[in-house]
Amino acid sequence: MNNISNNQMMNHVFVDAVEANSDLIVLTSDSRGSAKLTEFGDKFPNHLIEVGIAEQNIVGIAAGLAHSGKRPFAVSPAPFLSMRSIEQIKVDVAYSKTNVKLVGVSGGVSYAQLGMSHHSLQDFAVTRAIPNIQVLCPADRYETEAMFKQLLVTETPAYIRLGRNAVEDVYESSEYGFEIGKANLLRDGTDVLLIGIGETVRIAIDAALSLAVKGISAAVLNISSLKPFDSDTVIEKAKKIGKVITIEEHSIYGGLGSAVAECLSIEIGIKHKIIGFPDEELVTGSAKELFNYYGLNPSSIADEAVKLLG
């Protein structure tokens, strides 16, 4: 099991990049510990700004720094950054096309025991509905590394969601040809197409392995870029296979499942099952307990695939 979280990999990328990019500024909202940015702050105190628990301010300050020629990354817990600051994200960043990278850490149900106020299960829905902003979510530490290296040189506003804990690797290294806006086929198959985002990509792979034991051939597609969205690849694979399951650590409304349904809506005869968190207040428990309770685990996904196949 990998012991390096996506947050820690982000820290490593920043540490390696800051000497060559003096304009890099990282902002935190009393969150450098949970974002694993303590090393970066200790080594480069002049490149880290702590604004305190003030998520709306962190976005405004980051936008001001961007207009001053800096390259700001605003790092804050996803449930607060994506909801409390959404007006500032819409106006100060997206509407103005300001080059701010908004990093929502501890996304999804990372703060599961703290309840609905600390869940970010609507962040994909609200951010992808705003023009001029990319919406990204890496599957593992290697994709995080590749993604942040690109974000350091791009000029487009972006919202990036990261989880809290380390996840099992999906890739063997960061040198696999990551590209913002492109889906990545991890495993080909003929019977069912499993599409994941973020931490659910590993779940999709494990479900595919479980299905293979039963003689069912499952393809696995990683959507790390929810916006821009690779509709061409999704449609191409879905049309060939005919049966699709999307898996996401998000509400069943407005996220990956909705994006896939939108692009498949003009296609006839494709069955599509959305697996995510239901439109209700969730039970209390750890993140793993919530994943299992709501069917976001390999065995439950495999069962749903069998049902979809009839």
* Each residue's pLDDT tens digit, 8-25: 999 999 999 998 899 999
Token duo for residue 61: 């300050």
Per the prediction, the chain carries an average pLDDT of 95
Tell me which H or E stretch contains 146.
helix 141-151
114 pLDDT tier (thresholds 50, 70, 90):
confident
Tell me which H or E stretch contains 234.
helix 231-241
- Whether 262 is catalytic is no
Rounded Cα distance, 297 and 210, in Å: 11
Nearest to 137 by CA among 176, 93, 183: 183
* Each residue's pLDDT tens digit, 204-263: 999 999 999 999 999 999 999 999 999 999 999 999 999 999 999 999 999 999 999 999
Are residues 198 and 249 in contact, defined by beta-carbon separation less than 8 angstroms? yes
- In DSSP terms, 75 is beta-bridged to 28, 103
Nearest to 162 by CA among 21, 300, 34, 43: 34
Which residue of the set 39, 50, 55, 155 is catalytic? 55
Whether 110 has a pLDDT exceeding 90, the answer reads no
Rounded Cα distance, 138 and 94, in Å: 21
The pLDDT of residue 176: 92
The pLDDT of residue 253: 98
- In DSSP terms, 135 is beta-bridged to 159, 227
- What does pTM read for this prediction? 0.96
Three-state DSSP state, 55? helix
Whether 310 has a pLDDT exceeding 90, the answer reads no
* Each residue's pLDDT tens digit, 129-177: 999 999 999 999 999 999 999 999 999 999 999 998 888 999 999 999 9
**Is the peptide bond preceding residue 131 cis, with omega within 30 degrees of 0?**
no
298 pLDDT tier (thresholds 50, 70, 90):
very high
Whose structure tokens read 């960061």?
174
Rounded Cα distance, 105 and 126, in Å: 16
Whether 1 has a pLDDT exceeding 80, the answer reads no
- Average pLDDT for 260-268: 93
The one-letter amino acid at 120? S
Are residues 23 and 47 in contact, defined by beta-carbon separation less than 8 angstroms? no
CA–CA–CA angle 85, 4, 137 (5° rounding): 40
Whose structure tokens read 């096309």?
97
Looking at residue 284, the DSSP 8-state letter turns out to be: P
